[in-house]
């Protein structure tokens, strides 16, 4: 796996592994807001680092003016080190700016489709939790039952704590268990889960307007 230099996440990672891990538009929006805050903070810290570098240069120049040869050498070494790394902040700023631009593009494309866009962001993030977690727990049930045929005790306990367990989560689990008990049922269920994932991923890709391989299984719930 190849990382993108100076990026925390590539556009592909953001679209498929981060947004793609969400289940609602508002859930994806909340995640993107957190990513945006992180990149904006990084850019602010980079600017602070640039000021510190300038201060180091001033101190290094003072050392070079010293009558002590050791101080002069230390000043030369500091300046050489600064020179060797002078392009790093520029690359980091360019990478963070590029990543932030993509995040903002995704946010702007999702914004009109949000269920809770009339609320303040902090309120909207809270309001999205119930539906987001319900679909997340159903997704976990699908993954566990399809791969191991059972639900881990800790995961099942979490599912039972959700307020929609009896009305939504449990019926999904029961339906999957019945399907798995039928000869060939696992293959049928796997096909249904994958087909749903592909259909929803195309919806998300169209919303954001980025052409990539349709692989995530984000459930757009409004």
CB atoms within 10 A of CB 96: 22
Structure tokens at 180: 């798995």
- Does 3 have pLDDT greater than 70? no
For CA atoms 126, 130, 132, 137, the dihedral sign is positive
Residue range 108-117: mean pLDDT, rounded? 92
Tens digit of pLDDT for each residue in 170-199? 999 999 999 999 999 899 888 888 777 655
- Does 209 have pLDDT greater than 90? no
CA-based nearest residue to 137, from 154, 158, 167, 152: 158
CB atoms within 10 A of CB 11: 18
What are the residue boundaries of the structural domains of the chain, listed by start? 11-124, 129-181
Structure tokens at 38: 């992180």
DSSP character at residue 199: H
- Does 200 have pLDDT greater than 80? no
> What span, in angstroms and rounded, lies between the C-alpha atoms of 71 and 213?
58
Helix %, strand %, coil % of the chain (to 5)? 75, 0, 25
Q: Does this model's pTM top 0.85? A: no
- The least confident of 124-128, 139-143, 216-220 is 216-220
Tens digit of pLDDT for each residue in 51-78? 888 898 899 889 899 988 998 889 889 8
């Amino acid at each position: 796996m190849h990382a993108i230099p100076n990026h925390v996440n590539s556009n592909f990672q953001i679209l498929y592994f981060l947004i793609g891990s969400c289940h609602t538009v508002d859930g994806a929006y909340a995640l993107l807001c957190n990513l945006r805050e992180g990149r904006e903070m990084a850019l602010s810290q980079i600017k602070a680092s640039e000021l510190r570098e300038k201060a180091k240069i001033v101190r290094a120049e003072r050392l070079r003016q010293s009558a002590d040869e050791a101080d002069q050498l230390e000043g030369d070494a500091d300046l050489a080190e600064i020179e060797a790394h002078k392009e790093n902040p520029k690359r980091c700023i360019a990478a963070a700016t590029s990543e932030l631009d993509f995040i903002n593009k995704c946010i702007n494309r999702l914004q009109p489709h949000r269920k809770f866009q009339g609320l303040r962001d902090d309120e909207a993030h809270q309001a999205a939790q119930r539906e987001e977690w319900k679909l997340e727990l159903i997704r976990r049930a699908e993954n566990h039952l399809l791969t191991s045929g059972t639900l881990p005790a800790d995961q099942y306990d979490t599912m039972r704590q959700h307020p929609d367990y009896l009305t939504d989560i449990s019926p999904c689990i029961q339906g999957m268990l019945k399907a798995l008990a039928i000869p060939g049922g696992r293959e049928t269920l796997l096909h249904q889960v994958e087909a749903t994932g592909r259909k929803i991923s195309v919806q998300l890709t169209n919303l954001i307007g980025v052409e990539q391989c349709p692989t995530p299984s984000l459930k757009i719930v409004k």
